[in-house]
Structure 1
Amino acid sequence: MNLTEFDKMRQGKPFNAIDLDLRLRREAARLACAKFNAHPSKGNLRHITRLFSSFDSLVIEPGFQCDYGTQIDVGERVFINFNCVFLDSANIHIGDDVLIGPGVHFYTVDHPREPEQRAQGECCARPIFIGNNVWIGGGAKVLPGINIGHNAIIGANVVVKRDVAENERYVG
């Protein structure tokens, strides 16, 4: 059975990000985000949320960007502030009652360290898990494969390079 690059990506295997199907999927997500960002309203929010694998009650401020949207699942009562970026080549799970500050970026995708492999578009992705009742300060960057436990607080402008335990305050 031949797997598509999309299948490989979703299964956590190395995949080629310059594959035509993946580029078209990213373009569709960009257009959905652009519709919402140009005219933010509950009606236009549907352009983004119909991409998501799941969501409940959700507020997203304008400036939201994602790669695919299909690998984002969001719990109840989640607030995503202005200008957030979700690079969702792997799953991004966001629990209930999560506050995400402005300009927060989630990066699930990673690239090879060898320049030849990078030039061929090869990459891999690892999921990000955000527990319940988490607050992520503005400008924070969450790297691939990170788990943030319930009730954690992530400081503004930090790069989260390791897992964060429940109830922990991570300030870089």
Structure 2
Amino acid sequence: MIAPSVTLTTTGHPVHPSRRVDFARFSEPIVVEHKVWIGANAVIMPGVRLGYGSVIGAGSVVTHDVPAMTVAVGVPARVVRAITDDDLATREG
């Protein structure tokens, strides 16, 4: 599931300014595995893999891979917990 205003950006630019003189850029694929949920206004950066069943919190900026069956939130996004069978009995995360 992908909520409103999510950005999946596969193109970036070099950090060093001398490499940007000629508008240098790079592209890396984003991999979204099955049953991932990406919250509203999240930004997924180039080269990131979102593991099976993971949840990305609203407004998060994902700069690194997120393991399967985890919840990641924040700027930059960090894994805050695993998704377990206890989540079958509750609405909240």
**TM-score range relative to shorter protein:** 0.7 to 0.9
User: Which has a greater percent of helix?
Assistant: 1
1:59-97 CA distance string (max 9 Å, x none): xxxxxxxxxxxxxxxxxxxxxxxxxxxxxxxxxxxxxxx
Do residues 100 (structure 1) and 2 (structure 2) align? Answer: yes
2:54 match: 152
Matches of 1:137 and 1:149 in 2, distance apart? 15
SS of 2:20's partner is helix
2:18 corresponds to which residue? 116
Give 2:29's match in structure 1, choosing from 109, 119, 127: 127
Q: What CA RMSD, in Å, does the superposition of the two structures yield over aligned residues?
A: 1.1
For structure 1, the residue ranges without an aligned partner over 5 or more in a row are 1-98
Quote the residue 2:65 is aligned against: 163
- How many residue pairs get aligned? The number is 74
CA shift digits 1:24-66 (9 cap, x unpaired): xxxxxxxxxxxxxxxxxxxxxxxxxxxxxxxxxxxxxxxxxxx
Q: In terms of Rg, which structure is larger?
A: 1
Which is bigger in relative contact order (C-alpha 8 A, separation at least 6)? 2
TM-score (norm 2): 0.74
- Overall identity of the aligned pairs, in %: 36
Structure 2 segments unaligned to the other structure (5+ residues): 75-93
Could you tell me which of 38, 42, 53 is aligned with 1:140?
42
